[in-house]
A and B are shown apart, each in its own frame.
Chain A
Amino acid sequence: MLEPLIFEISRKGREGVSLPACDVPETAIPSELCRAALSLPEVSEIDLVRHYVRLSHLNYAVDTGFYPLGSCTMKYNPKANDAAARISGFMELHPLQDASTSQGALAVMHSLQTMIAEIGGFAAVSLQPSAGAHGELTGILIMRKVHAAHGQTERTRILVPDSAHGTNPASTAMAGLEAVEIPSDARGNIDIGRLKASLDGRVAGLMLTNPNTLGLFEENLLEVTRLVHEAGGLVYGDGANFNAILGVARPGTMGIDVMHFNLHKTFSTPHGGGGPGAGAVGVTRELADYLPGPIVASADYTATAPGARAEGRVGARAGKASGRALYTWCMPAKSIGRIKSFHGNFGILVRAYVYIRMLGADGLRAVAENAVLNANYLQVRLKGTYPVPHGDRTCMHEFVAQGKLAEAPDIRALDISKRLIDYGFHPPTNYFPLIVPEALMIEPTETESVETLDRFADALLEIAKEASTHPELLHEAPHTSPVRRLDEVRAARELKVTAG
């Protein structure tokens, strides 16, 4: 045991925080409403602080070192973002206050809606979804409702590439639709023949991650989206890999009808140990009425059809937040409904806003160019030693290598990953995408220096040698981390999920 549980540090009678005395006359509390006991830790503040500080020392983080997790975009999280979120006029603002007392926050949200729409090539944006998967569910529900509105309720299938992230079929199932898998071809693109064979009147749409999880830009993108549209379907864009084409291409102009953006990936908001994030969703003009709501509208606008709720037009031009326009909430006329409470993860939204304002258009493009440059550099350095199935193609912001070494057939991706920890690096994504055996998905991001990339490549090359000369170093790795390999079987069999 490295650090006791907080319950083990607890001692009867100890106290952390002190509270003020009651300054009003008390009202009797009926005893039958009261609980008998509550077992929470009793610790002094110093013990509380030391406990969590020591726990924090057991974590690897972006602020510690390189984190090349493919499709996660572990870029540096600017501290200015956090400072903005902590401004008390935002941090202490209640979401249900009248719009007239929240104009500053509404202005930020409206501006972010507009800027994301501009960046992605979309007509309207909702900032309500809390995460990428949440955005996916939103997007699929939108597609489903659009088809229903046109009387096409037989469109119950969503085509999902075999390289797709697990959230894609999971979101499809939650929306009540059927996920149908489309294979990739030898070049890593969607198999056009199989796509054509699957497109019929039962297809609601295609979910596309571009660049895909092999790190490759879909070479037939325009044909793919055209084929889906011709068959009466819609195209959903999973924006997990958008860092590769920020400022380089706009999915909304290339046939994507609805897309989520992961603000906690592309737009530098911190990952928090697993969350929170935000999954803004952009749509074309035709789908704008279906967005979840409420969204922010600027009041230089009038309601359209009688009975329609005042529809929001997302600003005439992308621009900085200005306090002068009057911002209001509005519910899109044919909305799929509310997808979460209140308006969205504002604390995350304001961070993304700051990031985009600090970068500007040129800065965003530089992000993509450097992210792709860094990935290609690593691909070249590594592909002579590790198999890279699509190493003949230019990769985008990430590439997939295989943890397979001809001279060491007993070594697997898992062993290589765990040994990387001993070299001071977080491993890349393991065993995903499923279509590449022993996959190591490597995404450096643009915020890493060439020295870091070289150290990482050197480490992997060294590990490749160790695989032949000292395989046990890999099989038994990690050796230097706070704990060694964990018994996951025991965790699943015993299922001890609460303390004592």
Chain B
Amino acid sequence: MSFIPNTDADRARMLEVIGVASPAELFHDVPKEHRFPLLDLPPALSEQEVLGELEALSQLNAQGGATPSFLGAGAYRHFIPAVVDALVSRSEFATAYTPYQPEISQGTLQAIFEYQSMIARLTGMEVSNASHYDGATSAAEAVIMSLNVAQKERPRVLLSCGVNPQYRAVVRTYTQGMGLTFGGDENLANGIDELESMCDESTACVMVQYPDFLGRIPQPGRLLELAGKVHACGALLVAVVNPIALGLLVQPGEWGADVVAGEGQSLGNHLSFGGPYLGFFAFRRDHIRRSSGRIAGETADHDGRRSYVFTLSTREQHIRREKATSNICTNQSLNALAAAVYMASLGPRGLRQVAELCWHKAHYAASAIGEVSGYSVAREQFFDEFVVHCPASVRRINEKLFQKHRIIGGYDLSADYPEMKNAMLVCCTEVNTKENIDRFVGALEDCRHA
């Protein structure tokens, strides 16, 4: 089925109006030798058959709903209240286009305005955009924004090695044509002290992550000092943050961040094997004209009704073309809607409670794992992820954890930090029950000699 309503009779009538004998004749501009190729594709299936096939394939996946999972590292299992999917799947939201005709798109526009407002409040920043693709590309856009604020006169970018390795890779991919130099993340030992000393007048921005990829929380007071030094150099401080953690922890607006980026998947969006996710992006109002991504603003209509419209479009590609602040067009609008519904359904107390549950469960797990012979837990202050130094390779431990115990273990850090052999990044969120955690700890003990 191809969802085409017109019948042969309809088509015959239309062909007559146009004055051709068959639809094939309409393709006379296509080079003859390339017209109507035979495509080697599987034969068409009915809806029933396709969904049946996919159900079967899905059974080959072990998913954390059925299987206890302690895997985080940039994508997180959180409980999504039923109300989120119920509202986000409404076809008035899901099958609408970008609201370029605002008179008939106030649903989308007001929802985006509310999302922007919630992100601004969560991060403590003055302005938020309507989304980027994900945390990694949002971080890349933050770097580009810093370059624009510096009028393209500062070609150096400092990255903390605590920033998610995938994000640092995407930042480098995005900027490979811009003649930049990078520093800071060449050495795992580099901390805030080193970033401060490396910052100079050739630096456009310094990027830190909070909590960082290894789970650690720098002290807000220390970050405020870093911000002071960064600003004294004339650079911007970019903060990559965990939005669930912000239900509890001091917001980056309080410690001097200029641009805040991060992954909003934790806010009401399913894991979905890596996407679609949500890059949130917030910044100081002073820099709004250098920012990227759509922004919804408030106005009034012809009759004075309060209403919403995309504004500052002159930053964007459809108007500014090669001088636009970014090439972004399609964003993650529906995922932003899910995040807004999630934040509104939890409210400030609910979001804090989720963050606290993550904290307590992770600290309980860390404490228990630390008691298991052969395992030791990193000592730094953490939120809901922590590093466990294991007695054997994480790969082998995870294999045994899954095959024997049907548990999905934590992330193998040696892939990204070669000096961290046998180091596992363990994550506990509010969905990990005490029973699961105890089972995990017991299983780790069993896997000591993997």
Contact = CB atoms under 8 A, between A and B. Distances in A.
Contacts of A77: 91, 94-95
A273 to B, nearest CB: 4
Given A19-B354, A336-B176, A363-B44, 8 more contacts: A38-B246, A48-B87, A89-B59, A173-B323, A274-B97, A339-B173, A486-B103, A497-B128
Interface stretch (A399-407, A444-452, A458-466): A444-452
B30 A495 contact: no
Given A84-B54, A87-B58, A276-B330, A94 B75 contact: yes
Given A141-B173, A338-B166, A22 B356 contact: yes
Contacts of A299: none
Contact of A38 (B90, B122, B309, B363): B122
Interface in A474-496: 476, 478, 481-488, 490-492, 494-496
B347 A15 contact: yes
B59 A57 contact: no
A67 B99 CA distance: 12
B44 A60 contact: no
A279 B329 CA distance: 12
A72 B77 CA distance: 34
A89 B63 contact: yes
A32 B275 contact: no
A137 interface: yes
Interface in A126-185: 130-134, 136-137, 141, 144-145, 165-167, 169-177, 179
A374 B136 CA distance: 41
A9 to B, nearest CB: 9
Contacts of A297: none
Contact of B299 (A133, A450, A490): A490
B272 interface: yes
5 contacts: A38-B247, A52-B341, A56-B93, A93-B271, A108-B57
Interface in B333-355: 333-335, 337, 340-341, 343-354
Contacts of B95: 61-63, 77, 270-271
Contacts of B254: 35
Given A6-B344, A42-B348, A104-B60, A27 B117 contact: no
Contacts of B326: 170, 174
B188 interface: no
Interface stretch (B3-11, B191-199, B227-235, B370-378): B3-11
Interface in A16-57: 16-17, 19-20, 22-27, 29-30, 32-35, 37-43, 45, 48-49, 52-53, 55-57
Contacts of A78: 3, 47
A2 B305 CA distance: 7
A344 B275 contact: yes
Interface string B12-53: 011101110001101111110011111111111111001101
A176 B177 contact: yes
Contacts of A304: none
B300 to A, nearest CB: 6
Interface residues of A, number: 208
Most chain A CB atoms below 10 A, which of B19, B63, B130, B330: B330
A95 B273 contact: yes
A358 interface: yes
B297 interface: yes
A186 interface: no
Contacts of B203: none
A48 B82 CA distance: 12
Contacts of A341: 74, 134-137, 164, 166-167, 170, 263, 274, 277
Interface in A338-370: 338-348, 350, 354, 356-367, 369-370
Contacts of B379: none
B111 interface: yes
Interface in B57-108: 57-65, 69, 71, 73-75, 77, 79, 81, 83, 86-87, 89-108
A362 B41 CA distance: 10
Contacts of A270: 91, 94-95, 334
A107 interface: yes
Given A347-B272, A370-B6, A221 B31 contact: yes
Contacts of B322: 169-170, 172-173, 179
B277 to A, nearest CB: 7
A258 interface: no
A263 to B, nearest CB: 10
A245 B434 CA distance: 56
Given A96-B73, A107-B60, A61 B53 contact: no
Interface in B126-147: 126-128, 130-131, 133-137, 144
B393 interface: no
A219 interface: yes
Contacts, number: 708
B38 A104 contact: no
Contact of B1 (A363, A364, A492): A363
Given A365-B36, A482-B106, A498-B128, A491 B311 contact: yes
A225 B329 CA distance: 27
Interface string B149-178: 000000000000000101101101110111
B176 A141 contact: yes
Contacts of B248: 29, 33-35
A88 B302 contact: no
Interface string A212-232: 000011110110000000000
Contacts of A119: 39, 41
B169 A275 contact: no
A494 B296 CA distance: 12
A45 B347 CA distance: 11
Nearest to A105: B273
B307 interface: yes
Contacts of B102: 483, 486
Nearest to B22: A369
A55 B360 contact: no
Most chain B CB atoms below 10 A, which of A25, A58, A346: A58
B418 interface: no
A381 B61 contact: no
B134 A340 contact: yes
Contacts of B324: 166, 170, 173
Contact of B309 (A55, A58, A249, A488): A488
A500 B63 CA distance: 42
A63 B137 CA distance: 31
A72 B92 contact: no
B274 A271 contact: no
Contacts of B361: 22, 24
A141 to B, nearest CB: 6
B181 to A, nearest CB: 14
A409 B357 CA distance: 66
B426 to A, nearest CB: 13
A274 B95 CA distance: 9
